[in-house]
A and B are shown apart, each in its own frame.
Chain A
Amino acid sequence: DVKVTQSSRYLVKRTGEKVFLECVQDMDHENMFWYRQDPGLGLRLIYFSYDVKMKEKGDIPEGYSVSREKKERFSLILESASTNQTSMYLCASTQSRRLAGTYEQYFGPGTRLTVT
């Protein structure tokens, strides 16, 4: 079974802190994604990465950055946390589109971040 793990299930940080959310997948997937989930807004894509050291902005990248130094690990960074970044953060991974067969996203359990 594909496994996507996230470093914390719950996190409480103060305004202005630098926050790191870590995601690790064990299926050698090329693509990794960070979403935030808010009531009534569904999932919104923050950033994604299709290879080591490669990244692309999603729909709401402002206030976030990412790092992918190893294929299995994708980090989301909040440079200076603000209260409007209180949310559920979901990491996901997929194999490359170049590979035939099933193509689906596998999700981690999520990190519920509260910024006070």
Chain B
Amino acid sequence: GNSVTQMEGPVTLSEEAFLTINCTYTATGYPSLFWYVQYPGEGLQLLLKATKADDKGSNKGFEATYRKETTSFHLEKGSVQVSDSAVYFCALIPPLFNKFYFGSGTKLNVKP
């Protein structure tokens, strides 16, 4: 089947710390992979994506690399800011599907 597992939160970091949020998946075929971010009181926004193995998605200082051999898509940022405090969702869509599969979300708190 198709599923996404991401690390449980909350994750609490100090400003300028290094961030990693782990995401692993199981999927039919070779899925496209996504990270979405949800700021307080808002809907989800696409943060970055990767559509094939070894692709690196990046946006706003965040990066994630599609690792087929480890079925992972970990989110990283070198130096987090207070404004990065949000809930982060890893997601996939299998080829030929119209349905997305989301992880349970990881809440990030960044303290000044």
Contacts and interface: CB of A to CB of B under 8 A. Distances in A.
Interface string B76-112: 0000000000000101010011111011110000000
B46 interface: yes
A94 B42 contact: no
Contacts of B96: 97
B73 interface: no
Given A42-B89, A42-B105, A43-B89, A105 B42 contact: no
Contacts, number: 49
B26 interface: no
Contacts of A42: 89, 102-105
A103 B99 CA distance: 11
B42 A110 contact: yes
A13 to B, nearest CB: 20
A62 interface: no
B32 interface: yes
B37 to A, nearest CB: 11
Interface residues of B, number: 21
Interface residues of A toward B: which range? 20 to 34
A108 B102 contact: no
Interface in A12-45: 31, 33, 40-43, 45
Interface of A: 4, 31, 33, 40-43, 45, 48, 50, 58, 90, 92, 94, 96-97, 102-110
Interface of B: 32, 34, 36, 42-46, 49, 89, 91, 93, 96-100, 102-105
